[in-house]
Amino acid sequence: MNKKMEFISCRDIYASTLIDLGKTNKDIVVLDADLAKSTRTLKFGKVFPDRFFDLGVAEQNMMGVAAGLAASGKTAFASSFAMFASGRAWEQIRNTIAYSNLNVKIFVTHGGISVGGDGSSHQSLEDIALMRVLPQMRVLVPLDGYETEKAVRLAAKSPGPFYIRVSREKVPQLTKKGDKFILGKSSLLHPGGDVTIIAYGLMAFEGLKAEKILAQEGISVRLINMSTIKPIDEEAILQAAEETGLIVTAEEHSIIGGLGSAVAEFLSEKNPTPVIRIGTRDRFGQSGAPRDLFAEYHLLAKDIVAAVKKGLKIKTSAKKSGVEA
């Protein structure tokens, strides 16, 4: 946090990784829906024009074509904005791709409210919930450029459908090239014993800033990067609940159906623990600068700090009353 951070575009990393994979795997095909310049898949199309298909403003058809290509032995990467890929084409993803467990990798950009000025129609705050509910679908939100590359490579070599989400904004490079990226496993960004913050994407960066603020007040924060939402790292969640007794989740998504729901659902059955969810609260997005929207929807480090302090009061109160927190 003290040294100058490098900020990178996960969209650009996606494109370069696809091109690299395409050089050695002729079964890699890429599809887009009139947003190839924004998703960066156009770069793949320029190198491999015979394996790139722009279906126009027709996301449902794109998913159907991707399914057909996958059924014929191809590994199909289908891309669009998170809002359109998950929302407009959900039925096709459910009935054609997920049901048949086809080798389609849905890579979406412009996830969450940080899309900014494009407003509510383009700000997907429900996509993780929509994808997480589908049987056989794996849901990933890479933290940074290195994780984006690893997520794409993992999806390419793993049978079955994936949903991989990145933001429009550039993100800080928080991991190292040599770090492992394992499906269903989280990574520890900071150790701590008083409270656990579980986050992904841009919210993990806010979590790091919150950790610094809380450390100055003597509060020890464990920060977990949960890049895999499904399958989720149950072992790490359970260990964090047992060792810190308080969980705060932070996500650029509705608190309904996303990371917060996944963590709360698991702990309610395995080890009931106070869980405070940071995310959008039953609201649509709106047009504005990303940072202003983070402030409006209470997604900043200061909001995580406030949630931690609220949770610690609950935890302390439970201990005083003799109730297991």
Q: How many residues does the chain have?
A: 325
Euclidean distance between CA atoms 110 and 95, whole angstroms: 25
- Torsion over CA: 260, 262, 268, 271 (sign): negative
Helices in 199-233 by DSSP H: which ranges?
Answer: 202-215
Q: Are 198 and 171 in contact (CB under 8 A)?
A: no
Known catalytic residue: 169?
A: no
Q: Annotate 245-302 with DSSP letters as a single string.
A: S-EEEEEEEESSSSHHHHHHHHHHHHS---EEEEEE-S----SS-HHHHHHHTT-SHH
Residues 6+ apart with CB under 8 A from 98: 134, 135, 136, 137, 161
DSSP 8-state secondary structure symbol assigned to residue 93: I
22: how many CB neighbours lie within 10 A of its CB? 20
Nearest to 274 by CA among 283, 263, 285: 263
The region that residue 189 occupies, defined by phi over 0 for left and psi between -120 and 50 for alpha, beta otherwise, is alpha
Helices in 29-171 by DSSP H: which ranges?
Answer: 36-39, 41-47, 59-71, 82-83, 90-92, 127-132, 145-157
At 54, phi and psi to the nearest 5? -100, 110
User: Catalytic residue among 6, 59, 252, 265, which?
Assistant: 59
Residues carrying an active site annotation: 59
